[in-house]
Amino acid sequence: MLRHFEEELDELRKCLLEMSGLVELAIYRSVLSLMRRDENQAQQVLENESRINQMQIEIDDRATRLLALEQPVAKDLRFITSAIRINSDLERMGDEAVNIAERSLLLISELPCNAPVDIPHMASVVESMVRKSLDAFVRKDAEMARGILISDDEVDELWDTARRELVCFMQSDPGTIVQSVHLMFIAHCLERIADHATNIAEDVIYLAEGVDVRHHSEVREQ
Amino acid sequence: MLRHFEEELDELRKCLLEMSGLVELAIYRSVLSLMRRDENQAQQVLENESRINQMQIEIDDRATRLLALEQPVAKDLRFITSAIRINSDLERMGDEAVNIAERSLLLISELPCNAPVDIPHMASVVESMVRKSLDAFVRKDAEMARGILISDDEVDELWDTARRELVCFMQSDPGTIVQSVHLMFIAHCLERIADHATNIAEDVIYLAEGVDVRHHSEVREQ
């Protein structure tokens, strides 16, 4: 029975990794679509959304079944409740990738403009945060998780710069308002994805050390 | 022991209601601040954020303790896992109210403009969704919850109209770009709050009927 439970926990971990793989791919493709003005990449993100949604329900079911049948305590209980939260964060990241893909399709239908916003750089920081948050989860590595909290501050600054510069750009050339608004929302989606990766990192710290660092800036700043 | 468990569940329910009361007040004040150009209302939202964050941690702790100590099954288990998700949605609504309050403070520092966006109407629909989602939760009323899914479609349309009209407004008068961008993000925050209320409504349906309606538009359209 104990052996079986360990296997079930391992299966849950694998499902979360598979889900994060799908989500990472969706983020990557949505940004690629934007960079290359490639409708096909965006379409693939839209088509794969239902797979991510389906996986969310499967993982929730799996976790709830484990809570009911195995009645875990201590660190196993903490692992399963974290898995439920991580699952929800992953699904919301997938939603943001869909939002980016939809905005990308709208942008492709507009004239290109040289907006002063470095989406590829912002995306690469965010994609690395997502990857590391799941790595940290698998390894129960609180140190790696703390690195993600620092990257989140960097993304907040990038977002802040992006929105200020896009407003100036629109003011200087009102012909670019439509494109600039789309780009601003895309930057905002990336900032949201970073927030979700941060939630996962906080869960990893909770899992590894039993310390809840949500809403505690003094712990984050260590 | 059983009696004690019932009391604990009731306590968890009361905590969620108290939290939703704080969140509703935050949303109300953030919009009031915008309408009346009243910095004081926005400041109160910012000051009360830590109380909401604190409550989120308390409720999560309470729910996890119940899972560990009481090892509930069937509908009690479903209630507690739903409570964890509802707690997270409420906290994120609180974050959106903070975002609105911050944007409101920025708008107050700008010249007023007659932007064609009916924030008060959108806010009143959204506030009613939030209130009803918690009412439906307390009463385990799936019918009321389904009404919220319909209101969400209405809010999506209001958001769609708002963003299109604000883009036209900026194009016709580039002097209003700063204000219009703030208003667009405020409308977006309201749309997000409606999404969270919808998540709660979906949890209520799951609680009342054991049916998971997330990502199933065919069920939502019944």
Cβ–Cβ contact B54 with A under 8 A: yes
Instruction: Residue B199: list chain A partners with CB under 8 A.
Output: none
Say which DSSP state B211 is in: -
- Domain extent at residue B119: 2-220
Q: What digits encode the pLDDT tens for the residues A121-160?
A: 999 999 999 999 999 999 999 999 999 999 999 999 999 9
The verdict on a CB contact (< 8 Å) between A88 and B85 is: yes
Average pLDDT over residues B24-44: 97
In contact, B33 and B39? CB cutoff 8 Å? yes
Cβ–Cβ contact B73 with A under 8 A: yes
Q: What is the ipTM of this complex?
A: 0.86
In contact, B199 and B91? CB cutoff 8 Å? no
Radius of gyration of chain A (CA): 19
What burial class does residue B128 get, using C-beta atoms within 10 Å of its C-beta: 0-12 exposed, 13-18 middle, 19+ buried?
middle
* Amino acid B170: pLDDT: 96
Instruction: Residue A167: list chain B partners with CB under 8 A.
Output: 177-178, 181
Of A73, A178, A212, the CB nearest to B57: A212
The verdict on a CB contact (< 8 Å) between A167 and B184 is: no
Cβ–Cβ contact A200 with B under 8 A: no
**How many domains is chain B built from?**
1
Supply B22's token pair.
Answer: 């704080």
Instruction: Residue A170: list chain B partners with CB under 8 A.
Output: 170, 174, 177
Q: What is the CATH number of the domain that holds A95?
A: 1.20.58.220
Cβ–Cβ contact A50 with B under 8 A: yes
Other Cβ atoms closer than 10 A to A99: 18
What burial class does residue B55 get, using C-beta atoms within 10 Å of its C-beta: 0-12 exposed, 13-18 middle, 19+ buried?
buried
Most confident of A70-84, A198-212, B77-91, B148-162: B148-162
Residue A18 C-alpha, separation from nearest chain B C-alpha, in angstroms: 19
The verdict on a CB contact (< 8 Å) between B74 and A85 is: no
CA neighbor of B90 nearest in space, from B145, B64, B52, B127: B52
Place of tokens 């239902």: A50
Alpha helices (runs of H) in chain B, residue ranges in sequence order: 2-36, 39-70, 74-108, 119-139, 142-172, 177-209, 217-220
Other Cβ atoms closer than 10 A to A47: 10
Average pLDDT over residues A69-95: 89
The verdict on a CB contact (< 8 Å) between A81 and B67 is: yes
The verdict on a CB contact (< 8 Å) between A81 and B71 is: no
Of A53, A64, A73, the CB nearest to B68: A73
Instruction: Residue B64: list chain A partners with CB under 8 A.
Output: 77-78, 81
Cβ–Cβ contact A40 with B under 8 A: no
CB-defined contacts A:B, below 8 A:
73
Other Cβ atoms closer than 10 A to B61: 11
Distance between CA atoms of residues B10 and A71, nearest Å: 21
Instruction: Residue A88: list chain B partners with CB under 8 A.
Output: 85, 88
Supply A62's token pair.
Answer: 């799996």
What is the distance of C-alpha B201 from the center of its chain?
11
* Amino acid A160: pLDDT: 95
Distance between CA atoms of residues A193 and A197, nearest Å: 6
Please tell me which residue of chain A has the smallest CA distance to B217: A50
Say which DSSP state B140 is in: T
More confident residue, B214 or A43: A43
The verdict on a CB contact (< 8 Å) between B167 and A174 is: no
CA neighbor of B181 nearest in space, from A126, A183, A102, A175: A183
Q: Assign B3 a pLDDT band (cuts: 50, 70, 90).
A: low
* Amino acid B69: pLDDT: 82
Instruction: Residue A178: list chain B partners with CB under 8 A.
Output: 167, 171
Cβ–Cβ contact B106 with A under 8 A: no
Q: What digits encode the pLDDT tens for the residues B113-159?
A: 989 999 999 999 999 999 999 999 999 999 999 999 999 999 999 99
Q: Assign A70 a pLDDT band (cuts: 50, 70, 90).
A: confident
Q: What digits encode the pLDDT tens for the residues B163-201?
A: 999 999 999 999 999 999 999 999 999 999 999 999 999
Res B62 pLDDT > 90 = yes
Please tell me which residue of chain B has the smallest CA distance to A171: B174
Other Cβ atoms closer than 10 A to A166: 24
CA neighbor of B21 nearest in space, from B99, B134, B136: B134
Q: Assign A203 a pLDDT band (cuts: 50, 70, 90).
A: very high
Q: Assign B218 a pLDDT band (cuts: 50, 70, 90).
A: very low
Residue B84 C-alpha, separation from nearest chain A C-alpha, in angstroms: 9
Question: pTM of the prediction?
Answer: 0.90
**A53, A117, A177: best mutation site toward chain B, by most B Cβ within 10 Å?**
A177
Q: Which amino acid is at A44?
A: Q
Cβ–Cβ contact A88 with B under 8 A: yes
* Amino acid A3: pLDDT: 65
Residue A189 C-alpha, separation from nearest chain B C-alpha, in angstroms: 12
* Amino acid A213: pLDDT: 77
Most confident of A67-71, A185-189, A218-222: A185-189
Distance between CA atoms of residues A85 and A70, nearest Å: 19
Distance between CA atoms of residues A78 and A75, nearest Å: 5
Q: What is the DSSP string of chain A?
A: -HHHHHHHHHHHHHHHHHHHHHHHHHHHHHHHHHHHT-HHHHHHHHHHHHHHHHHHHHHHHHHHHHHHHH---HHHHHHHHHHHHHHHHHHHHHHHHHHHHHHHHHHHTSPP---S--HHHHHHHHHHHHHHHHHHHHHT-HHHHHHHHHHHHHHHHHHHHHHHHHHHHHHH-GGGHHHHHHHHHHHHHHHHHHHHHHHHHHHHHHHHH----TT-HHHHT-
Q: Assign B94 a pLDDT band (cuts: 50, 70, 90).
A: very high
Radius of gyration of chain B (CA): 19
